[in-house]
Structure 1
Amino acid sequence: MSRWIEPVTLQGTHVSLTPLSADDTPALAAAAADGKLWDLWYTSVPAPGQERAYVDAALAMRENLGALPFAVRDASGEIVGSTRYFNVDSANRRLEIGHTWYAKHVQRTPLNTEAKLLLLTHAFEKLDAIAVEFRTHFMNHQSRTAIARLGAKQDGILRSHQIGRDGVLRDTVVFSIIASEWPAVRANLKLKLAR
């Protein structure tokens, strides 16, 4: 079966994104433990003992829904988090970037900016995407700020959109970048990296 999004490794200076595999599970567990990221109630970072289920679900999303989950590696090659293309709508050339999280020691470094530059470049310039979405929990102010800093525009808020792992209803903030905005967003991300 031909897929719109085929497995690919995206390589930068500060980060590389490699297709996620079951073999990455122990390294993802170690990355999530750096900062106990699962304690943030509005995120979906795997808790201790849940890492294999997290990876299995990501790989099932790849197999059944055309998603592409990545292991995020720092410049040394160490796995420091995960991200993915998902909510893939190949007929309309739209996708979402999300399920993104990083070990605490690489947060607020050039790694995320470069990872997003790599993902967006591939989406707009190789896949010819019309739009790329980002979604986050309304209460995740750090994520909302980071998405806006990329140059994405807020499209709206989906109220009571999902039921969280604790049973609390999630309001989801939706952002997007459309193809006509990509050149300005790309220039801005490159400027941020040059600093």
Structure 2
Amino acid sequence: MDNLDKFQNIIVGKVIKLIPLSLLHKSELVAASSDGNLSELWFTNVPNEKTIDQYIDVALSGKSKGIALPFVVQDIASGKIVGSTRLCNIDIDNRRAEIGYTWYAKSYQRSGVNTDCKLLMLSLAFEQLNAIAVEFRTHYHNHVSRTAIARLGAKQDGILRNHRIHPDGELRDTVVFSIIESEWPLVKKSLLFKQSQYLN
């Protein structure tokens, strides 16, 4: 994978823009997560007013270490920040990365936002960073996320049991999916078709 320094620009899609995350996005992200009270979902990690500072600190720390590229998701039509996503756990030597920390305001879910976002993020990983595999990880009980990842064309690799300990002591089982380099052309074709359906 290539050095990450040159991948700091805004990425423009058909429905959204991916804008590099900064402290300037703090209030807009809190407003977006309040749409649907997303931070109250026990199986996700969506920031609220109390946790937004730590959320941004972790994201920017990963960026400074060269293991993450965090973005906010901006709806082009309204200009509103509607969520966030991140290329994370970037492994330059082994040409692997994970797309994670993805969430959208409730009113923008089940729209063309996720299709456009995943098309941009996967294109970044496979076509610009030269990845050979891209992972997706989600909570075992996050069935909406699991279904959405499978619909992308990702294949389930397995389940990491007792993978993480949450602050409240809950033990999380993590479901791991991936798309490999040889699968990307067909996945891209499928995403472009889905995108065309939303745009019509």
Q: Which moved more, 1:135-144 or 1:49-58?
A: 49-58
Partners of 2:169 and 2:8 in 1: CA distance: 34
Q: Which residue of 1 aligns with 2:194?
A: 192
CA contact (8 A) 2:4 2:66 kept: no
Q: Which residue of 1 aligns with 2:156?
A: 154
Q: Which residue of 1 aligns with 2:92?
A: 90
Alignment of 1:5-154 (within 5 A): 6-75=7-76, 76-154=78-156
Structure 1 moving runs of 4+ over 2 Å: 2-6
Partners of 1:65 and 1:45 in 2: CA distance: 23
SS where residue 91 of structure 1 aligns? Answer: coil
Unmatched 5+ stretches in structure 1: none
Following superposition, the deviation at residue 8 of structure 1 comes to 2.7
Q: For this pair of structures, how many residues does the alignment match?
A: 194
- With normalisation by structure 2, the TM-score equals 0.94
Partners of 2:142 and 2:16 in 1: CA distance: 24
The code of the aligned residue for 1:78 comes to K
Unmatched 5+ stretches in structure 2: none
Query: Is 1:178 equivalent to 2:180 in the alignment?
Result: yes
Q: State the superposition RMSD in angstroms.
A: 1.2
- With normalisation by structure 1, the TM-score equals 0.96
Following superposition, the deviation at residue 57 of structure 1 comes to 1.4
Q: Which residue of 2 aligns with 1:164?
A: 166
SS where residue 18 of structure 2 aligns? Answer: strand
Identity %: 56
Offset from partner CA, 1:120-171 (integer Å, 9 cap, x none): 0111111111000000000000000000000000000000000123210000
The code of the aligned residue for 2:69 comes to L
The code of the aligned residue for 1:42 comes to F
Partners of 1:138 and 1:8 in 2: CA distance: 33
SS where residue 73 of structure 2 aligns? Answer: strand
